[in-house]
Amino acid sequence: MTDPLDRREERRFREEIREFVIAEVPETIRQKVAQGRDISRAETITWQRKLVDRGWGAVHWPQRWGGTDWGLHKRFVFEEEMALAGAPGVPPFNTRMLGPILLEYGTEEQKERFLPGALTLEQWWCQGYSEPSAGSDLASLRTRAVREGDFYRVNGGKIWTSYAHYADWMFCLVRTNSDVKQQKGISFLLLDMRSQGVSVEPIHHFYGAHILNQVLLDDVRVPVDQRIGEENTGWTTAKALLEHERLATSRHAEATRKLGRLLALARHNRDGDGPLYRRADVRARIAEVAVQVKALEFATRRGLDMLIRDGRIGVFASSLNLKGVATNQAVDEAILDIAGADALAADQAYDGLPRGLLNRGGDARYVAESRYYLRGPAIAAGSNEVQRNIIARHALDL
């Protein structure tokens, strides 16, 4: 681990990142990010490969596997600046979730086999954890894997599987023993989505987007050498999600970037009396949001500080998660209000609209649907209610 960057190094590094984003992200995609729209599978892969070419494809991996060996602080600055600069996000499943698990628990052979493809998105991974009857209470999952010689025969199904319709592979949790405490009977398998018996059904968000899916597993054969770790140790493996990932749930850089957009919209958009920004109520609203964003930024830095000092964030992660979601939602709601009628155009309709239809240049428009995406994180990976239970128990000793 390298030492924290000093102020001058940090400034230089941030410039380097911004220049890279300006040079490598096409205008069309920058617009999409600014407007909160989803980018396609092909666009995501193109972007990830540019990052890989630059040596930035998985900055938290060791250099040997295409990572960087950077210290925590530099990685934090990198991720923050990328988000601030409006770089497209890459789904976390490949490099942020599967990668660290392979590095920690995979055999050399498994690493050789899966890490390179995970890095370049040659293999697009999805995460098979949740099930219809196992949501926030994940350990109650029921998808069964029965050992038959060198294979497991897997039956059951997964739900809320993000980007399963894009995925080549799925890392998943399955039940290999039903006679023990729930957590002790779970194994961690890597499953080829092209195997016989796998089918993917879309689940559309209420606003129309297709990100989530249901994955049905009907007599799917998975070779035993695609199990990570020992049988029945999958719960430990899945829980070992790196502590630093828990920082990312605050989405503070995303909130900061959106705050900039909110300010720009308020200055640009007018009502009968002039720019909205001149209105006292609008400035009060923006100020309220800006204060929350600033608090979130410092809270995230405090989390980083804990990580560097103690190697863990602990229960503080639950506050970051709660407030990260709430703050991002607050910025989105303010943007929606400031955008006014300009926010009415549906995402699918957007590309066909003449640029000057509503506001001049069209840049002041905002795709309302992106706002609804964030209802999701208040539910996924431990709903707000589960976070509150964790805080009550582990921070407040209630």
Partner 1 sequence: MQFVLTEEQQLVSDTVRKLLEKEWDPRRDQALSSAHAVDGPVWRQLAELGLLGVALPESHGGSGLGAVALGVLCAEFGRQQWRAPFLASAVLAGTALEQAPQGEVRDHWLRQLAEGHGVLTLAALEADAGYDYRAIALTARATSSGWRLDGTKHVVMDAACADAFLVTCRIDEAPALVLLEKDHAGLEAALFTAFDGTSLATLTLTDVALPESAVIARGPAAHNALDAALAHAALAAASETLGACEGAFERTLDYLRLREQFGTRLATFQALRHRASDLHADLEMLRSLVWGAADGLMRDPRHGDAFAALALAVPVGDRVCREAIQLHGGIGMTQELGIGRYLLRVNALSRLFGDATHNGWRYLESLEDEHHD
**Number of Cβ atoms within 10 Å of the Cβ of 268:** 17
CA 135/CA 142 separation, integer angstroms = 12
- 231 versus 305: smaller Cβ distance to partner 1: 305
Binding residues for partner 1 (CB under 8 A): 283-284, 286-288, 290-292, 294-299, 301-302, 305-306, 309, 316, 318-319, 322-323, 385, 387-389, 391-392, 395-398
Residue 83 CB, shortest distance to partner 1, in Å, is 19
User: Between residues 146 and 284, which has the closer beta carbon with respect to partner 1?
Assistant: 284
Burial label, 97 (beta-carbon count in 10 A; 0-12, 13-18, 19+): buried
**Considering the complex, what minimum distance in angstroms separates the CB of residue 318 from partner 1?**
8
C-alpha dihedral (38, 42, 45, 46), degrees to nearest 10: -100
**Residue placing its CB nearer to partner 1 in the complex, 220 or 248:** 248
Side chain identity, residue 189: L
In the complex, the smallest distance separating the C-beta of residue 80 from partner 1, rounded to whole angstroms, is 13
How deeply is 309 buried, as exposed, middle or buried, from its count of CB atoms within 10 A (0-12, 13-18, 19+)? Answer: exposed
State the Cα–Cα distance between residues 333 and 371, nearest whole angstrom: 7
Tokens 């205008």 belong to 27
Q: Does the active-site annotation cover 245?
A: yes
Strands (E), the chain: 125-128, 144-148, 151-159, 169-175, 186-192, 198-204, 210-223, 227-228, 270-271, 274-275
Identify residue 352 by its one-letter amino acid code.
G
Cβ pair 196, 220 in contact under 8 A = yes
DSSP state of 240: T
Please, which residue, 205 or 294, has the CB nearer to partner 1?
294
Could you tell me the CA-to-CA distances from 207 to 165, 263, 364, 368 in Å, in that order?
18, 26, 21, 9
C-beta of 147 vs 393, nearer to partner 1 = 393
Nearest-approach distance from CB 86 to partner 1, in angstroms = 17
Q: How far apart are CA 85 and CA 296, in angstroms?
A: 18
Q: At its nearest, how many Å lie between partner 1 and the CB of residue 289?
A: 9
Nearer to partner 1, 186 or 293 (CB): 293
**Exposure string over 358-394, b if 16+ CB within 10 A, otherwise e:** bbeebebbbbbbbbbbbebbbebbbbeebbeebbeee
Q: Which of 15, 245, 333, 369 is catalytic?
A: 245
Which amino acid makes up residue 284?
A
CB of 322 to partner 1, least distance (A): 5
Q: Which residues are tagged catalytic? A: 245
